């Protein structure tokens, strides 16, 4: 793909700072330009990074941009991706891949036709946390996996986000916002999902913004804010998922995996590291030393992993994985509405494990 891979960012809101920090220590990528609908914000970031501030249209056609990092709101993910692909650019987007599978599928089809690559967050599963847990599963430390639980409970993002509107419209909600971290981790640990059974509810029709210039303003709630269900993996394992913006706190582990001969605690999949604990049959809980994954990783390692893959070689934070995760989540919402088990039509390869290393190698 050429080294370093030249990156142009569309959308330099809050999450962009984490990518910018990571790019400073990755040899495989180099930032060349940024764009944002807020031109002043784009100029400020460009000056701080020593790169060019462009309009969105100019960045999507710029010959010095190899890959477009799409950090727009979810409703714009598919549009920006398709425009980038039409100009021969690789694309890596924030999660979810698009608002719906119907919007996401043309992105993958266009990329295949154009011979470019599509990657998508989360790449948190490439860190030592989930990868050490995956190695424990693969090494048989808990025997055959039969079940998992994944739990994310919070009062809602309006408490801290100054513009939380998009969390409460179609494409938002706890499942599509936070679920990609958890479902991607579950697919990494246990393989793709075959079907789902879901239930969902919402407790309030409005939410009150808690910070910023709009503090005290009410925003409408158009989506379910508590979603729960069971994922039936192709392997036969069953994962129980709870995603909520309606709860105060929990002492449950973010993810647990249970097998015939042991149980495993997996750290927060919204982070790259954390303690992995195992409890063998007849033993006690003990913490595993990191044994797999990128050490000290950050948002953007998925892009470097993509850049390091040779022609035709798979990369881990792929569009195909993101599409399967998106379809799994939307099938869960569909199941909740229909009150019946719903098949997940797509599948994907379980991503390759990440050996313990400092960063993706430069190709």
Q: Is there a shared CATH topology between the 5-120 domain and the 125-294+324-343 domain? A: no
235 neighbors 211 (Cβ within 8 angstroms)? no
The CATH code belonging to domain 125-294+324-343 is 3.30.360.10
Interacting residues of 24 by C-beta distance below 8 A, sequence separation 6+:
none
Share of the chain above pLDDT 70, in %: 99
* Interatomic CA distance for residues 1 and 311, integer angstroms: 8
For the chain (length 363 residues), average pLDDT per consecutive 10? Answer: 87 95 95 97 98 98 98 94 98 95 98 98 98 98 98 95 91 93 98 98 95 96 97 98 96 97 98 98 97 97 95 94 98 97 97 96 74
pLDDT in tens, 228-267: 999 999 999 999 999 999 999 999 999 999 999 999 999 9
SS3 157: helix
**CA torsion sign, 39 to 304 to 184 to 92?**
positive
> Tokens for 91?
């694309």
Q: CATH class for domain 5-120?
A: alpha beta
SS3 91: strand
Alpha helices (H) along 117-172? 128-138
Domain range list for the chain: 5-120, 125-294+324-343
pLDDT in tens, 150-176: 999 999 999 999 989 989 998 889 999
């Amino acid at each position: 793909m050429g080294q370093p891979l030249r990156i142009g960012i569309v959308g330099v809101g809050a999450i962009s700072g984490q990518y910018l920090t990571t790019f400073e220590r990755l040899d495989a990528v180099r930032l060349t330009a940024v764009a944002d609908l807020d031109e002043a914000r784009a100029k400020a970031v460009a000056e701080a990074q020593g790169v060019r501030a462009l309009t969105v249209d100019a960045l999507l056609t710029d010959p010095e941009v190899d890959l477009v990092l799409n950090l727009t709101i979810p409703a714009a993910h598919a549009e920006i991706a398709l425009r980038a692909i039409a100009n021969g650019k690789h694309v890596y987007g924030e999660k979810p891949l698009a608002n719906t599978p119907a919007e996401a599928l043309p992105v993958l089809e266009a990329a295949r036709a154009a011979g470019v690559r599509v990657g998508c967050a989360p790449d948190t599963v490439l860190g030592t946390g989930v990868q050490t847990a995956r190695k424990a599963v693969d090494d048989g430390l808990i025997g055959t996996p039969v079940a998992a639980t994944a739990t994310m409970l919070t009062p809602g993002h309006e408490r801290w986000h100054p513009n939380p509107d998009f969390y409460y419209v179609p494409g938002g909600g706890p499942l599509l916002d936070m679920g990609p971290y958890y479902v991607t981790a579950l697919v990494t640990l246990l393989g793709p999902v075959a079907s789902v059974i879901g239930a969902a509810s919402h407790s309030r029709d409005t939410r009150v913004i808690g910070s910023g210039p709009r503090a005290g303003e009410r925003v409408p709630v158009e989506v379910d804010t508590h979603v729960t269900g069971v994922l039936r993996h192709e392997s036969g394992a069953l994962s129980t998922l709870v995603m909520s913006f309606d709860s105060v706190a929990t002492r449950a582990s973010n993810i647990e995996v249970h097998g015939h001969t042991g149980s495993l605690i997996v750290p927060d999949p919204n982070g790259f590291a954390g303690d992995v604990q195992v409890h063998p049959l007849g033993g006690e809980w003990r913490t595993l030393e990191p044994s797999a994954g990128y050490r000290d990783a950050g948002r953007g390692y998925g892009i470097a992993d993509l850049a390091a893959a040779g022609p035709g070689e798979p990369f881990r934070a792929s569009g195909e994985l993101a599409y399967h995760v998106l379809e799994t989540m939307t099938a869960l919402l569909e199941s909740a509405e229909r009150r019946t088990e719903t098949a997940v039509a797509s599948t994907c390869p379980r991503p390759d494990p990440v050996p313990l290393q400092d960063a993706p190698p430069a190709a």
